[in-house]
Structure 1
Amino acid sequence: MALKATLSRPLAAYVAHRYQRWMQDPVGTQQRVLTGLLGLASRTSFGHDHDFLAISDAAGLARQVPVRDYEALRPYLDRVQAGEADVLWPGHPLYLAKTSGTTSGAKYIPITKDSIPNHINGARDALLHYIDYTGRSRFLDGRLMFLSGSPELEIVNGIQTGRLSGIVNHHVPAYLRRSQLPSYATNIIDDWETKLDQIVEETLGQPMSLISGIPPWVQMYFDRVVARTGKTVKEVFPEFSLFVYGGVNFEPYRKKLFETLGGPVDSIETFPASEGFLAFQDQPGNPGLLLLLDAGIFFEFIPAERFFEDNPPRLTIGEVELDQQYAVVLSSNAGLWGYSLGDTVRFVSRFPHRVVVSGRIKHFLSAFGEHVIGEEVEQTLREAMHQHPEVEVVEFTVAPLVSDDPAVPSRHEWLIEFAQTPHDTAAFAAALDAGLRQRNVYYDDLLTGNILTSLQLTALPSGAFQRYMKSQGKLGGQNKVPRLSNDRMLAEGLLRAQ
């Protein structure tokens, strides 16, 4: 075993032991985090405006600081972006992470000297926990690929600005950078498809051992490797043993991706966001992601069904319950306060607190009062694919289809790009309908009352999602396709992209 793999094991054991200390006292850990955040930010403009000196606990935070999304916090964020100091956090941020967002258009999220370790250490510790749990560290001696946005940054009012994945790329440790692909010259290529072709050129013939990225974009890379070589990914890269992913639910992509791989590969799921690195899968095989309660982020959780109330309850880590949907609210050392992340989670364990990411609070389908969430459609699709094992899905989304004919009820439209189509399309559509009715009582009631009729399944041609994302300037990188919409904008765009 080479040096990096050997030395990683005692470090992995040390980090895992250090985590155990705060995992045994989640409530106290979060209180210490909150106290530290408030103390450091008390002299900022935001801290002065919200009387941080009068806040000592979560109840005080909820009383003084309302929940805000990006747009509501924007008056302060615009001042940060303009170069003003001591607005949300002491001094100036090191970076602004630019993201297209899924609810607010372009967003510029501050990353401070105090918050950058959260992003770096979160990713590092995910790998170290894997090593400690499995004893497998040989992947560190091979070539490591992080499929990311461009690391090229621009200076905006004295602040380095770019994509989060590109920012993090600058902080890859030197001992890993020597093994990292793609090269800097390739990574800064703007056009995604040109960049992907160059990544294939650079990686063929290399001992690739770890590949990381958002599943649909990694799948595009794998497809090009297979097309170029006529072999499975594992035949091309026999040392490939660890896949690290995050950003979307992996399940809809799992079957096709592992068929493309052609062999077993371990995987680690992570929960990264421009606002913070929130959780990672600390035990392979356990679907729960360990929530990072000691990383400069104070968490609050709003029951999803009450999120849009005027004054919803804001629960702390000691008040959450298992198997309930919660919207995530953050206060952090990036200078985000009472910030609505937009994601929903469901706790699958406590002590330690592990979650699964279940969807987006604004990405639900309730055009007819059904309030279907992302987790429900993803589970429904997975179950239908299990019933029809020949089916492989590239990508999908669900939208309302409102009928203009009073005699014909409205319905949901599932727009699916298949890699392998069902033998019986009608039976597959019926399985989707039955699965969603089982998971969502409101949807079932609407069909029972003939307010809705059975869903419409629309099979999209190969490449439809890629063509649509390219037309929107969102091909590759960290961009994701919404699972659910309350309007026809995405659906019509996909239909035009055929």
Structure 2
Amino acid sequence: MGLKATLSKVFAAFVNVQLNKLRKNAVPLQQKTFLQLIKQAKHTEFGKAHNFAQIKTYADFKKHVPVRDYEELRGYIERVTAGEENVLWPGKPTYLTKTSGTTSGVKYIPISKESMPEHIKAARNALLSYIHETGNADFVDGKMIFLQGSPILAKKNGIDTGRLSGIVAHHVPGYLQTNRLPSYEVNCIEDWEQKVDAIVEETANADMRLISGIPPWCQMYFDRLSAKFDGKKIKDIFPNFKLYVYGGVNYEPYRSRMQDSIGFAIDTIETYPASEGFIAFQDSQKEKGLLLLVDSGIFYEFIPADEYFNENPTRVSLEDVELNKNYALVMNTNAGLWGYSIGDTVKFVSKAPYRIVVSGRIKHYISAFGEHVIGEEVEQALLSVANQEGLDIVEFTVAPQVNPDAGQLPYHEWFIEFGQQPKDIGDFALKVDKALQKKNIYYFDLIEGNILQPLIVKALKKDTFINYMRSQGKLGGQNKVPRLSNDRKIAEELKDYII
């Protein structure tokens, strides 16, 4: 074991003591964060307009600050991006993250000098938690690859602007810089396919031990790397590769194929970073869920997902959440986002400590007939059947068909790219339909009442979703295929790929 790995174990033990305080004092830390945020922002334009000076309690806050999504907060954000000071947070932001939002087109999210360090600390602590629990630290002495966006930043009215992963690349601690790949030059390549090819060449003979990135794009990297080495498994190319770090999408639909490419069931760490703040990370290989970061400059609120579109939905802080209930996540941050609906839904799987799973997107659902099927239900139904039958799912998306052929009932249409085809796709579809009925009582009632017919699966050609994302200009980086749509925009684009 090298010096870095040895020192990392000492540091990991120290950080775990700090995390234990977080685990045991989540509600008081959230209250402390709340009061600090209000105090710091009371003289901003937003603070003055929303009577921050009179806010003493969370109940006061709810009276003065409504829940808003990006579009509803856009007026304030446009003032920030125009270079105006003291709008949402004191001064100007240090960065603006540019993201292609799934619901609002291009979005600019401010990152302040207070919030930037929290992104770095959370990513660091995710790795240190793994080291402390498992004792495995050898990856620190080898090469680590982070599949991310370009670190080249533009200026927008004097503010550095770029993708979150590209911004974070400028803040990698010095002690990791010599371990890190790809090189700055390769990382700056904008075209994703050219970039992946360059990364393959640069890393082919390196001692890769940790790889990080969202699953579909890591899979593309693995496929091209394997092709370069005549079909070898990743474990044979990188014999010391022991840890995969991911975030942004549910890993389960990709796990089987990823493990097959790697050649064994690798240890994984799930993280929950967002442009709006680093929300949670997996702090244990033994416990389910991600540890909610309650002392990182974010005060969280939660709205029961089934009330989200009500005129006056219930709105609670951490101390009043319930286990296994689907909540829309609302954030108040030390970068100046207030009552901000990030668009994600989460469930608490533990309250001692507070751990969450990401269950979907509040606007990614199907309810064309009142069923309100969410991403978590769809993924679990599909994977339960695919795993039973030993099938790999490369990627998929689901849309309602409200205008079927004459004589047919409406249905949910599933577009699936398989690693290998089911022997009987109709039988496979019926099994998935039964599994979904067990997950969602409203869907069950619609099937039983002959309002809907059972779902229909359309098998897609190899590389369909890579080609689709390329056609949309969203290949690589942090871009993800929406798993659920309540319209047929994506479905219509995929028609030409059906086998």
* TM tier, smaller: over 0.9
Aligned pair 1:304/2:305, yes or no?
yes
RMSD: 1.0
Aligned to 1:395: 395
Question: Counterpart amino acid of 1:415?
Answer: F
Report the residue type matching 1:420 in the other structure.
Q
Q: How far is 1:497 from its partner?
A: 5.2
Paired position in structure 2 for 1:21: 21
Counterpart residue number, 1:420 = 420
Distance in 1 (alpha carbons) for counterparts of 2:405 and 2:415: 22
Cross-structure match for 1:237: 238
Give the match's secondary structure for 2:22: helix
**Aligned-residue offset at 1:24:** 1.4
- TM-score using structure 1 length: 0.99
> What are the equivalent positions in structure 2 for 1:1-400 lying under 5 Å apart?
1-229=1-229, 230-389=231-390, 391-400=391-400
1:293 alignment partner AA: V
The SS at the match of 2:318 is coil
Counterpart CA distance in 1 for 2:410 and 2:476 is: 34
Structure 2 distance, partners of 1:297, 1:103, is 22
Given the alignment of the two structures, is residue 435 of structure 1 paired with residue 435 of structure 2, yes or no? yes
Name the amino acid aligned to 1:441.
I
> What secondary structure, in the 3-state scheme, does the structure 2 residue paired with 1:106 have?
strand
TM-score (norm 2): 0.98
Q: Distance in 2 between matches of 1:20 and 1:286?
A: 15
The one-letter code sitting in structure 2 at the alignment partner of 1:254 is R
Deviates more, 1:474-483 or 1:486-495: 486-495
Unaligned 5+ segments in structure 2 are none
Does residue 469 of structure 1 match 2:469? yes
Cα deviation digits, residues 311-359 of structure 1 (max 9, x gap): 1111111100101000000001010000001000000000200000000
Please give the secondary structure, in 2, of the residue aligned with 1:420. Answer: coil
CA contact (8 A) 2:302 2:328 kept: yes
Secondary structure of the 2:109 match is strand
Question: 3-state DSSP class of the match of 1:100?
Answer: strand
Deviations 1:362-410 (A, max 9, x none): 0001011110000000101110112211x11110010011234452101
Task: Give the 3-state SS of the residue equivalent to 2:124 in structure 1.
Answer: helix
Deviates most, 19-28 or 455-464: 19-28
Equivalent position SS for 2:101? coil
Runs (4 or more) in structure 1 with deviation over 3 Å come to: none
Contact 1:26/1:351 (<8 A) preserved: no
Unpaired runs of at least 5, structure 1: none
Helix, strand or coil for the counterpart of 2:330? Answer: strand
Counterpart code for 1:335: G
Aligned length: 497
Q: Quote the Cα distance in structure 1 between the aligned partners of 2:177 and 2:367.
A: 46
| Deviations, residues 174-221 of structure 1 (Å, cap 9, x unaligned) | 110111111111111111101100000001010000000001111111
Amino acid at match of 1:486: N
- Say if 2:460 and 2:497, in contact at 8 Å, map to a contact too: no
Aligned twin of 1:495: 495
CA distance in 2, matches of 1:310, 1:241: 49
Cα deviation for residue 414 of structure 1 reads 0.5
